[in-house]
Amino acid sequence: MTPVSYQVGEQTIIAPAVRYEYGYAYNIGGKKLLKLVTLNWAPYIDESLCNNGWLFQLTVKLLLQKGYGVHIEFFPWARAVRAAELGKADILFPEYFIDDAVMSDNRPSKTRNDLLALSSAVPGGNLSLIALRGNNSNYNGNVESIKDQIIGVVRSYKNTPELDKLTDSKKINTIIANNEYQLIHLLMSLRVNLIVADYDVLIASIEKSVSSAKEKQQMKNSLVPLSPALAYKPLYYMVSKANPQWQEILADLNNEISKMNEQGTLLSYIEEKKQQCSR
């Protein structure tokens, strides 16, 4: 089980984890036990990573410091979204920015923002179009330039408003994968021309796979992120409005994020967690 550690003044707090239902729990006796749903998405958060990843550590810390109990379960992304949109989980994370026009995957006539409230941002990464090395692409920085190509995307991911509009309207043909590792195989088997992903997540997906060292190196050498990136994508929490206290939960999250930014400790905490796992 993965403990979570952080500083309060000069004191180091180490919060132990317990197995709870199908996930992990901290401070079960807190003022309210919140259920969070997430996915395995290395290098940000993943059950295979040291400390379950820096985002796992940061998330638990933010809520523990406000006195909450925290219960986290890992699911495929589409299932995590469904749990949050149907009010069966209190917080969905990590999420990209969600435009008000994005419709719910699970509640007809509702937008995702009707059901879930977006927090303040924490650091994320670049979202890019990825090609096979040596393959020509017409991409010129405008997604309209790839309308004649087939692209791979992950089920229920929201990418950029411009790209999502083209894929939702079928103006760009897509093949759907369940995760980034499947995206890589779609690209390498030439079933798609391009895939949409955070390059760091692709590399981490390869590293955690059961492929041989030689196969991993071949895959990594084959992937090329196209320039410019589609966007830099900060990460967010989405709080379920089905929880009667959703506004208080959202305010508590935002206050902790804001305090860490003001104190200059957000980036240093993330770097500290990364360094712990690189020793």
pLDDT-derived band at 279, boundaries 50, 70, 90: low
Q: What is the DSSP letter of 167?
A: H
Same domain as 243, residue 215:
no
Same domain as 245, residue 187:
no
User: Looking at the DSSP assignment, which residues form a beta bridge with residue 71?
Assistant: 25, 35
Give pLDDT, residue 276. 84
Same domain as 239, residue 119:
yes
Q: What gap in Å lies between CA 115 and CA 134, rounded to an integer?
A: 44
Helix (H, G, I), strand (E, B) or coil at 262: helix
* Residue 83, token pair as written in the block: 């749990």
H helical segments located in the chain: 54-64, 77-85, 112-115, 161-168, 180-188, 199-207, 213-222, 246-263, 266-276
Q: What is the DSSP letter of 17?
A: P
Give pLDDT, residue 201. 96
Report pLDDT digits (tens) over 205-229: 999 999 999 999 999 999 999 999 9
- At 220, the amino acid letter reads K
Give pLDDT, residue 120. 98
Give the mean model confidence (pLDDT) for residues 7-28: 92
* Residue 219, token pair as written in the block: 């895959």
Give the mean model confidence (pLDDT) for residues 228-253: 98
Same domain as 119, residue 239:
yes
Q: What is the dihedral of CA 117, 155, 232, 92, to 10 degrees?
A: 30
Closest to 146 (Cα-Cα) out of 161, 131, 158: 131
Same domain as 119, residue 14:
yes
Report pLDDT digits (tens) over 103-162: 999 999 999 999 999 999 999 999 999 999 988 788 999 999 999 999 999 999 999 999
Average pLDDT, the chain: 95
How many domains would you assign to the chain?
A: 2
Rg of the chain, C-alpha, whole Å: 19
Helix (H, G, I), strand (E, B) or coil at 53: coil
Percent of the chain with pLDDT over 70: 99
Q: Count of residues for the chain?
A: 279
Instruction: State the CATH number of the domain containing residue 77.
Output: 3.40.190.10
Q: What gap in Å lies between CA 62 and CA 122, rounded to an integer?
A: 11
Same domain as 256, residue 132:
no
DSSP string, 73-125: EE--HHHHHHHHHTTS-SEEEEE----TTPBPSSSTT-BHHHHEEE---EEEE
Same domain as 118, residue 240:
yes
Same domain as 108, residue 22:
yes
Same domain as 205, residue 245:
no
Domain that holds residue 114: 4-123+235-276
Asked if the model's pLDDT at residue 246 lies above 80, the reply is yes
Closest to 107 (Cα-Cα) out of 82, 124, 142: 82
Which residue reads 């995206």 in tokens?
183
* Residue 113, token pair as written in the block: 């923002």
Give pLDDT, residue 8. 85
Report pLDDT digits (tens) over 42-93: 999 999 999 999 999 999 999 999 999 999 999 999 999 999 999 999 999 9
Same domain as 115, residue 27:
yes
**Predicted TM-score of the model (pTM):** 0.93
Q: What is the dihedral of CA 92, 98, 184, 82, to 10 degrees?
A: 40
Same domain as 101, residue 161:
no
Same domain as 252, residue 221:
no
